[in-house]
Each structure stands twice: as structure tokens, then as C-alpha cells.
Amino acid sequence: MGRSGQHSGAAVGVLTVLGAEFFHRWMIACGSAVDREADRLTELDSAIGDADHGINMRRGFAAVTDALEKEPPATPGGVLMLAGRQLISTVGGASGPLYGTLLRRAGKALGDAGEVTREQLAEALNAGVAAVAQLGGAAAGDKTMLDALLPAAEALGESFTAAREAAEAGALATVPLLARKGRASYLGERSVGHEDPGAASSSLLIAALAEVAG
């Protein structure tokens, strides 16, 4: 990675441009957050899913971390594309394709640029979220990962902190919702009163982004 990528990733507080190093550190931070919260994610999933979300996400981001350490891409888009591919190939169930699509589509939107702005990242994340919505056939209020990602992507246009807060609020807001998509939807009214595990893990990824941004 070039010196400009390192500088832009380290310029906390200003962060006018984001290089590949910043995105690399974001994915590593995601892996740390998922590893730390894996038991909680699995506990959430045990209530309304297959009780394996934390385990699967931990395995997926461990693979992401390993792949990035072996051959780090030189562009922000390249980092996200690589991470997305790893998640698709290593995370079981629906989460692999959904999270993989999120990152790959966002990476594709960033293209081959060596550095991007926060606003460009917000646009790319919105593209990734739209792809997830299309793949899963879900919308806001369906008690899925979109309930954290949609408000986060929109708020990222304002600031990293706003994105984190929006994601956290969105995840918590899934507790009283009736699940309309995914395995949780099979439970009907019994899905009410539980936080959606996908929204919870999505919130972790956005929180990791805000953490790296400083």
C-alpha cells in the first residue's frame, strides 16, 4: 500500500480520504468485534434461528483476516471485494451470501480508486444494502439485517458516528418486530421480543467502521 493510503487511514478526526489501509483495518476490526460478540450473536440466533450465526460469522471473518494478511489488495474496492468473496465461501446459511453481497457490491461501486471519501463510501454502502435487499427480498421493518444497515448507510453521509448510532438503534428496534423474512418468520408471533441476530452483527460491522475512523 502506498504512503497516501496509510496516511488517509490514520488521519483520524479529519478523514477526508480513505485508502486501502483504512479498509483493511476496518475488516480486521470487524473480525475482532465478531469474535468478541460471537457467543451473544449465537444466543440471539438460538431464540429465532439456527443457533449458529455467531459461529458462522466468526469463521467467516477469520478467513477474511487471514486472506487480507496474506495478500492485501491495493485499493478500497479490492479489500471489500476480497472480504466479500471470503464470506460467501466460508459462512454457512444465508448470512454468507448476504454479507458477501453487501461487501462485494460496495467494493464494485468503489471501483479501482486508490482513495475514496466518506461520501463515496456511503454511496457504495447504499449500493451494497440495495443488493442485499434484492437478494433477500426484504425491506425495512421485516426484522432483518436491513433494519440496521439501511439507516446506517443513510447516516454515513453525515458522519461515521451517526452511522454507528443509527445501526445500533436499528438493531434494537427489531426486538418488538414480527419477523417477515428468513427462518425467524416461521415462528410467527414467537419472533416478537427478540433482537434479530443479523441486525446485531450488522451493527457490529458499522461500529467497527466508526472505531477505525476514530
- If pLDDT is split at 50, 70 and 90, which confidence band does 98 have? very high
Contact predicate 102/84, CB 8 Å: yes
Residue 192 has which C-alpha cell?
Answer: 416478537
* Residue 92 CB neighbours (<10 A): 14
Tracing cell 448510532 back to the chain, one arrives at: 165
Give me the residue spans of the domains in the chain.
Answer: 3-213
What residues have CB less than 8 Å from 46, skipping those under 6 apart?
Answer: none
pLDDT confidence of residue 183: 76
**106-160 residue pLDDT tens:** 999 999 999 999 999 999 999 999 999 999 999 999 999 999 999 999 999 999 9
Bridge partners, 115 (sequence order): 19
pLDDT confidence of residue 14: 47
Q: What per-residue string of b and e applies to 167-191 under the rule 16 or more CB within 10 Å gives b?
A: bbebbbbbeebebebbebbeeeeeb
Give the separation between CA 34 and CA 23, rounded to whole angstroms: 16
Q: What per-residue string of b and e applies to 140-163 under the rule 16 or more CB within 10 Å gives b?
A: eebbbbbbbbbbbbbbbeeebebb
- If pLDDT is split at 50, 70 and 90, which confidence band does 15 have? low
pLDDT confidence of residue 64: 98
Tracing cell 466508526 back to the chain, one arrives at: 210
- Was domain 3-213 assigned CATH 1.25.40.340? yes
| C-alpha distance from residue 32 to each of 22, 25, 29, 41, 62 (Å) | 15, 10, 5, 14, 9
Residue 175 has which C-alpha cell?
Answer: 426486538
**Between 120 and 188, the higher pLDDT residue:** 120
Q: Report the pLDDT averaged over residues 17-38.
A: 98
